[in-house]
């Protein structure tokens, strides 16, 4: 009986190895992120999963885990470096633990006025050279996915700079965002994205900043009486993978996944603005929060108040890089 079982196991094993009894198991890519499926990043990761299955003819299965179901903000990067997940798309504000400080440039308030200026950086040589810097950390950057421009929300109206004074504001873990809130005499509080709704609801913090797609899909507008359309900073992502995992993929599969990522990136960056516009419309329709559009003078006052953050951080991040970005985006401090 035992001999029979052993022979059977050997036969099945041999058959399996040459693909006689069943097809080879697919390569699993766990793609973890912290936002809802119904956001630019959520949709783009699902689209990538679909393209990856198609282009590799089922040899790769991308499993998307949204809404921090696997990991919260801080844990994600560690999980990637340890190989527990294979793909992430953290916001650029969250790259500091990887030891590549240059990504902090993206957090500087008002550094990009619109998506066109931003794309000259992310989709050009500057963006590429930043991704390359990740490789020494065992991380491979595959592309930049947009979300959009952040707006401030709180339970009190946010018009002039003085309105931020003393408010406890949730931020992502970023020294630049910390300085941004302090420049407004607000009190920054670092918190994982998955905890923000409850913190707003219970009054642990008074307000926050995020693109409207994040605000709406986390229902933050239900616990924030005021939303001010400041568009004062960019929030977007770099899709990253574990470099060793990526380099060890069969070359043909890697090529197919590269092609899938290129298409998914075009898709992500095409839908992001519309997703945010639609979310704003839904927030408006909900009637739960009052939406305020700044006057040009109010926006300029905010920009001026926040320029101190550039002065403080340009030398810490990389002065030459910041100047290069200013050139690409026509950001002119002399005009402030």
Chain residues binding ligand LMR by CB under 6 A are 34-35, 73, 91, 147, 172, 193, 210, 214, 235
Nearer to ligand LMR, 210 or 276 (CB): 210
Distances (CA, A) of 212 to 14, 152, 282, 291: 55, 10, 10, 11
Nearer to ligand LMR, 39 or 56 (CB): 39
CA distance 258 to 268: 15
Nearer to ligand LMR, 153 or 214 (CB): 214
Min separation Cβ 140 and ligand LMR, Å: 19
The widest CA-to-CA distance across the chain, in whole angstroms, is 87
Residue with tokens 């099945």: 12
Min separation Cβ 131 and ligand LMR, Å: 18
* Beta strand residue intervals within 165-245, DSSP E: 168-171, 187-190, 208-210, 226-242
- Asked if residue 237 lies in contact with residue 145, where contact means CB atoms within 8 angstroms, the answer is yes
Min separation Cβ 308 and ligand LMR, Å: 23
How is residue 308 written in tokens? 């101190």
Min separation Cβ 269 and ligand LMR, Å: 15
Nearer to ligand LMR, 86 or 214 (CB): 214
Min separation Cβ 196 and ligand LMR, Å: 7
Min separation Cβ 254 and ligand LMR, Å: 26
- Asked if residue 107 lies in contact with residue 150, where contact means CB atoms within 8 angstroms, the answer is no
Nearer to ligand LMR, 60 or 176 (CB): 176
User: DSSP secondary structure string, 117-162?
Assistant: HHHHHHTSHHHHHHHHHGGGGTEEEEEEEEEEEEEEEESS---SGG
- Asked if residue 169 lies in contact with residue 209, where contact means CB atoms within 8 angstroms, the answer is yes
Nearer to ligand LMR, 193 or 246 (CB): 193
Nearer to ligand LMR, 193 or 216 (CB): 193
The dihedral through the CA atoms of 218, 219, 221, 222 has a sign that is negative
Residues in the chain: 336
Min separation Cβ 304 and ligand LMR, Å: 25
CA distance 257 to 243: 14
């Amino acid at each position: 009986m035992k001999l029979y079982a052993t022979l059977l196991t050997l036969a099945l094993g041999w058959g399996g190895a040459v693909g006689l009894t069943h097809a080879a198991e697919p390569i699993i890519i766990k793609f973890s992120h912290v936002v809802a499926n119904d956001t630019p990043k959520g949709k783009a990761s699902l689209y990538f999963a679909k393209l990856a299955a198609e282009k590799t003819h089922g040899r790769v299965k991308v499993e998307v885990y949204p809404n921090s179901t696997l990991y919260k903000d801080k844990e994600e990067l560690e999980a990637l470096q340890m190989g527990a997940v294979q793909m992430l798309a953290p916001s650029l504000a969250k790259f500091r633990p990887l030891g590549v400080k240059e990504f902090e440039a993206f957090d500087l308030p008002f550094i990009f006025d619109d998506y066109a200026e931003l794309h000259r950086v992310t989709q050009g040589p500057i963006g590429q050279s930043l991704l390359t810097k990740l490789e020494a950390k065992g991380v491979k950057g595959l592309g930049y996915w947009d979300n959009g421009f952040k707006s401030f929300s709180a339970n009190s109206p946010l018009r002039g700079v003085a309105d931020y004074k003393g408010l406890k504001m949730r931020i992502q873990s970023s020294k630049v965002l910390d300085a941004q809130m302090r420049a407004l005499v607000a009190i920054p509080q670092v918190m994982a994205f998955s905890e923000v709704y409850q913190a707003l609801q219970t009054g642990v913090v008074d307000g926050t900043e995020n693109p409207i797609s994040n605000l709406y899909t986390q229902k933050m507008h239900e616990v924030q009486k005021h939303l001010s359309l400041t568009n004062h900073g960019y929030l977007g992502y770099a899709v990253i993978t574990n470099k060793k995992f990526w380099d060890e993929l069969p070359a043909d599969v890697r090529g197919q996944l590269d092609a899938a990522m290129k298409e998914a990136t075009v898709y992500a960056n095409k839908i992001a603005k519309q997703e945010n516009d639609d979310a704003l419309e839904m927030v408006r329709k909900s009637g739960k929060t009052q939406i305020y559009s700044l006057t040009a003078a109010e926006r300029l006052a905010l920009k001026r108040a926040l320029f101190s953050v550039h002065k403080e951080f340009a030398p810490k991040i990389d002065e030459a890089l910041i100047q290069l970005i200013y050139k690409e985006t026509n950001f002119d401090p002399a005009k402030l």
